[in-house]
Amino acid sequence: MGESVSRLLVFAAVSGLFGLSVNLFFGSILAGGGGDEINKIVVKDEFSPAEELHTFSGTVLVPSTCHDLTVRVHDFDADTLILVFESWERPHFLSCKKRDDLTPKSFRAVAFAPGWVEVKALFDGRFVPFRLITSTSEDK
């Protein structure tokens, strides 16, 4: 009787560890690997052909409410603009509720370039896919 209880306890422990391992592994795959939501960026480009002015705007998700966002436009070459998104944590002396919730931050940036220029996005040092919605404003 004691041997069967011992085997039952060993079986329960091994199956529990196996279940936990499977849950952690497949759970992270099903959840998208954690952090992919940050890289879902939609950028609106209002282009003024008379001035060759691009006004980029939109919303980006940063890691928490304690993070802020800096956006700048970098002229990579004559044919390419790079939107550089950098999230950074505010200094500790500011009061904020430290949570792991993704937080939306709005941005706006301008650049002078022709209408056919290619636009790429860099988020915290990594090139990320994004959706660019372009509209042309006609001067009156």
Question: Do residues 62 and 86 lie in contact, with contact meaning Cβ atoms separated by under 8 Å?
Answer: no
pTM over 0.95: no
8 and 46 in a single domain? The answer is no
Q: What is the mean pLDDT of the chain?
A: 80
**Number of domains the chain contains:** 2
Give the pLDDT score at 86: 94
22 and 46 in a single domain? The answer is no
How confident is the model over 84-107, as a mean pLDDT?
Answer: 78
Give the pLDDT score at 81: 95
pLDDT band at 135 (very low <50, low <70, confident <90, very high): very high
85 and 20 in a single domain? The answer is no
Residue 41 to residues 21, 28, 87, 91, 121, Cα–Cα distance (Å):
33, 22, 14, 26, 9
Which pair of tokens denotes residue 72?
A: 């700048």
28 and 2 in a single domain? The answer is yes
Q: What pLDDT, in 10s, does the model give residues 49-62?
A: 999 999 999 999 88
Domain of 96 in residue numbering reads as 36-136
